[in-house]
Structure 1
Amino acid sequence: MTAGGRRLATGFTEATDSPGLLLWQVTQRWQAAQRAALRPFGLTHVQFVLLASLTWLATDGVVTQKNLADHAATDQMMTSQVLRALEAMGLVHRLPHPTDRRARALAVTPEGEALANRAVVAVEACDAAFFAALGDGVREFAGALRALRNAAG
């Protein structure tokens, strides 16, 4: 037995004192809410993130798979697999890159753009409801998340 009679050698008195555990618990609940919000659109959360990210990035010109993966902080292999699914759904196209023969340019179809714009309304409403418990602290919380993301590389 460890100090305090616990079997787990942790520095925390209570399990819920662990920020990692709390982040895990909150993330699980948030992901469940996102899945429910996206169900009517026939999209998984990662499909939505990549479709919405591509729609966002396309405003600035040619988008490659690497650009998209970097923006969404997703693994390139998973990004490729999800893009194949989105392409099969008629939501994106992978086209020859205009200047790099090794790369593919990604494009959102009109159907993909329309779906992304309908789904983002549901996702943002879901976020607003989920984070409402923070009240006026939402902006500060988002800043803390950005700091963690940036520190993690």
Structure 2
Amino acid sequence: MSLDTRHASADDSPGLLLWQVTNRWQAAQRAALKPFDITHVQFVLLATLTYLQASGPVTQKALADMAATDPMMTSQVLRTLENRELVHRPAHPTDRRARAVAVTQAGRDLANRTVVAVEACDAAFFAGLGDDLPTFTAALRALRRR
């Protein structure tokens, strides 16, 4: 028996290729972040919060939306970051019923140190694309919009 697939080869499956590349990229990111004792999802939320906070108060929903993370998982990761005193939850300045999510100075410092490592990891990982990198990035943006 064989697999009933329309692809002549596994290398023709964009989904499988994306899976394989994503796993390799995630492994590279884990290795880059290991010296900082932070997971990749923690980094993404911390860096995204640091970025968003420059424009004003940030809600947990706005953070999850920008990072494209599950709201429940976002809450759990924020609790971990809060326990590490990298984020805190001040009162929201315009909604008395809500809490904002804010980066502490320690969190901002860590976000700025780790973004250097993450971007260096990305540069090394995607270097093989050479001049095709802008096209690849544009294709990823197109897929994100779907």
Q: Determine if the TM-score, normalized by the shorter chain, exceeds 0.5.
A: yes
Match of 2:125?
130
Does structure 1 residue 101 correspond to structure 2 residue 91?
A: no
Partner letter of residue 79 of structure 1? T
Q: Distance in 2 between matches of 1:146 and 1:103?
A: 32
Q: Shift of residue 132 of structure 1? A: 0.3
Moved more, 30-39 or 89-98: 89-98
Higher strand share: 1
Match of 1:38?
33
Partner letter of residue 48 of structure 2? S
Q: Shift of residue 98 of structure 1? A: 1.6
Deviations 1:69-106 (A, max 9, x none): 00000000000000000000010001121222332101
Does structure 1 residue 18 correspond to structure 2 residue 13?
A: yes
TM-score, normalised relative to structure 2: 0.98
Which residue, out of 47, 50, 75, partners 1:55? 50
Q: Kindly name which structure, 1 or 2, has the bigger radius of gyration based on alpha carbons.
A: 1
Deviations 1:40-73 (A, max 9, x none): 0110000000000000000100100000000000
Partner letter of residue 131 of structure 1? F
Q: Distance in 2 between matches of 1:74 and 1:16?
A: 29
Q: Distance in 1 between matches of 2:129 and 2:86?
A: 35
Moved more, 8-17 or 95-104: 95-104
| Structure 1 residues 140-151: aligned runs within 5 Å | 140-151=135-146
TM-score, normalised relative to structure 1: 0.93
Q: Distance in 2 between matches of 1:121 and 1:132?
A: 16
Partner letter of residue 74 of structure 2? T
**4+ residue runs of structure 1 moved beyond 4 angstroms?**
none
Partner letter of residue 56 of structure 1? Y
Q: Distance in 2 between matches of 1:105 and 1:40?
A: 29
- Across the two proteins, how many residue pairs are aligned to each other? 146
Identity of aligned residues (%): 72
Q: Shift of residue 136 of structure 1? A: 1.2
Which residue, out of 63, 68, 72, partners 2:67? 72
- SS state at 1:10 partner: coil
Q: Distance in 2 between matches of 1:123 and 1:92?
A: 20
Unaligned runs of 5+ in 2: none
